[in-house]
Amino acid sequence: MSQRNAALAYAAFEDGNLEAAAAYVEAAVEGGYPGIQQLGAVIAHQRGDYAGAIQMLETLEQATEASISLLIRLHLLAGDAQRAGQLLLDCCRYNAFGPPLYDVPRWQGEPLERRRIVVWGAGFGDDIMYVRYVPVLAERGAEVVVACRPALVRLFESLDGVSRVVTLDADVTDCDYHVQTAELVARFGIADDCPWPGAYLGATAQTFDAPGLRVGLVWASAAAHFEVADKSAALAEMTALASVPNATFYSLQVGSPQAQLHPAPAGLVVEDLAPQLRDFADTAAAIAGLDVVISIDTAVANLAGAMGANVWVAAPFIPDWRWASEGPTSTWFPTATVYRQPRRGDWRSVFEAMASDLKVLQVTVDDEVATS
């Protein structure tokens, strides 16, 4: 019977029926079906029951990489940064997320005076968020090498405290230590404990000749990510923005969702900047020339926040922890304004609210131009 309940739980979850899936999980747990708590935690998370999800995961007999990663994020969403940080350090110490990329000692808090350390990560958004700690390493006397994906190299060369930036396949055997970008969060404190350092990434602004309000748009994640559905809208769901007078829209979207521009939805005129965006340094230059960036939870949202730019983030009903679980602000990125889905899948309401606020911003920009 427990096996049947587990199968029904998975089927209900795939159909999007979270209430039924949760009931079947409960029955499967009572019947002793092994490992079903992980699905139960995912369901509880998607229902916004963070405490219930944490309880499910902590009763798992055998943790997996996915369950540990979710548990860390749940503790952060629930506001328990200390527990999340300790879990993260333990995972890195015991290689729970896979073997280290480099055959040099892992940094575990040793003194860094006259030592060379390579900071590395394999993501875009997370690395953009976490490299804020690079100057802290430099202040401790370290020579800091940053290893990242090619699209981030030129951008990260603007970081204070970095001696060189290389790609992930570079030879870093001359380094004394390595550390993953995510580990720095646990070492130096979650946002509430680590004050905003101010803009830590930048670029020379691209010039846009259009008068009035200049707005950058990103509507979908281009990454192959298990949460891509929560990090993607359709350009057609942004049509409310077309009601904003004297505004010019520029697409910062890359990847396959860019095809939605050709043709763009009726009434929404958007200039496609993708052909100019070779890497994130080019995207940063475009952001620096805009009045506001509107983005789904993507690397571009993180980049605009890291630059101290005006960024409006469209967050899903169950948000990523960096945008917190409620309210319009993020302690990670003080210049970000968070617009939240009122119900799962409802992007139109989010962009309608943004359109209303853009009209107010447009008047402010026009007044500034008139008095300059």
CATH of the domain at 80: 1.25.40.10
The answer to the question of residue 68 being in a domain is yes
Calpha distance 331→322 (Å, rounded):
8
Calpha distance 101→236 (Å, rounded):
41
Q: Are residues 245 and 303 located together in one domain of the fold?
A: yes
The answer to the question of residue 264 being in a domain is yes
Q: Are residues 237 and 128 located together in one domain of the fold?
A: no
The pLDDT of residue 191 is 52
Q: Are residues 362 and 229 located together in one domain of the fold?
A: yes
pLDDT tens sequence across 101-159: 899 999 999 999 999 999 998 789 999 999 999 999 999 999 999 999 999 999 999 99
The pLDDT of residue 227 is 58
The pLDDT of residue 226 is 47
The answer to the question of residue 320 being in a domain is yes
Q: Are residues 223 and 366 located together in one domain of the fold?
A: yes
**CATH number reported for the structural domain that contains residue 357 in this entry:** 3.40.50.2000
Looking at residues 93-106, what average pLDDT do you find?
A: 79
**CATH number reported for the structural domain that contains residue 123 in this entry:** 3.40.50.20
Tell me the two tokens of residue 56. 């499910």
- DSSP-derived pairing of the beta strands 177-180 and 143-148: unpaired
Banded model confidence at residue 63, pLDDT cuts 50, 70, 90: confident
Banded model confidence at residue 97, pLDDT cuts 50, 70, 90: low
The answer to the question of residue 194 being in a domain is no
Looking at residues 303-313, what average pLDDT do you find?
A: 98
The pLDDT of residue 363 is 82
The pLDDT of residue 2 is 83
The pLDDT of residue 80 is 85
Buried b (16+ CB within 10 A) or exposed e, 142-160: bbbbbbbbebbbbbbebbe
The answer to the question of residue 42 being in a domain is yes
Q: Are residues 85 and 120 located together in one domain of the fold?
A: no
Q: Say what angle helices 81-93 and 181-188 make with each other, to 10 degrees.
A: 130
CB atoms within 10 A of CB 117: 26
How many structural domains is the chain composed of? 3
Structural domain containing residue 134: 116-188
Whether pLDDT at 224 is above 60: no
Q: Are residues 51 and 182 located together in one domain of the fold?
A: no
Q: Are residues 293 and 332 located together in one domain of the fold?
A: yes
The pLDDT of residue 138 is 97
Residue with tokens 């200390």, as numbered in its chain: 82
pLDDT tens sequence across 166-204: 999 999 999 999 999 988 888 887 655 566 889 999 999
Average pLDDT, the chain: 91
Calpha distance 297→269 (Å, rounded):
23
pLDDT tens sequence across 320-362: 999 988 999 998 999 999 999 999 999 999 999 999 999 999 9
The pLDDT of residue 230 is 77
Q: Could you give the C-alpha distances from 300 to 126, 173, 266, 280, in angstroms and in order?
A: 11, 32, 25, 8
Q: Are residues 155 and 257 located together in one domain of the fold?
A: no
Residue 7 backbone phi and psi in degrees, to 5: -60, -40
Q: Could you give the C-alpha distances from 153 to 167, 171, 282, in angstroms and in order?
A: 7, 15, 11
Residue 152's nearest CA partner among 290, 302, 272, 293 is 302
Q: Are residues 10 and 140 located together in one domain of the fold?
A: no
The pLDDT of residue 192 is 54
Dihedral, 316, 319, 324, 327 alpha carbons, nearest 10: 20
Tell me the two tokens of residue 284. 């940063």
pLDDT tens sequence across 252-307: 999 999 999 999 998 899 999 999 999 999 999 999 999 999 999 999 999 999 99
Whether pLDDT at 95 is above 80: no
The answer to the question of residue 207 being in a domain is no
Tell me the two tokens of residue 340. 């939240």
The pLDDT of residue 366 is 66
The pLDDT of residue 16 is 87
Q: Are residues 223 and 365 located together in one domain of the fold?
A: yes
The answer to the question of residue 103 being in a domain is no
Pick the residue with more confidence: 260 or 68? 260
* Residue percentage of the chain with pLDDT more than 90: 67
Calpha distance 139→290 (Å, rounded):
33
Q: Are residues 122 and 83 located together in one domain of the fold?
A: no
Looking at residues 66-79, what average pLDDT do you find?
A: 88
Q: Are residues 243 and 328 located together in one domain of the fold?
A: yes
The pLDDT of residue 100 is 78
The answer to the question of residue 35 being in a domain is yes
Looking at residues 41-56, what average pLDDT do you find?
A: 91
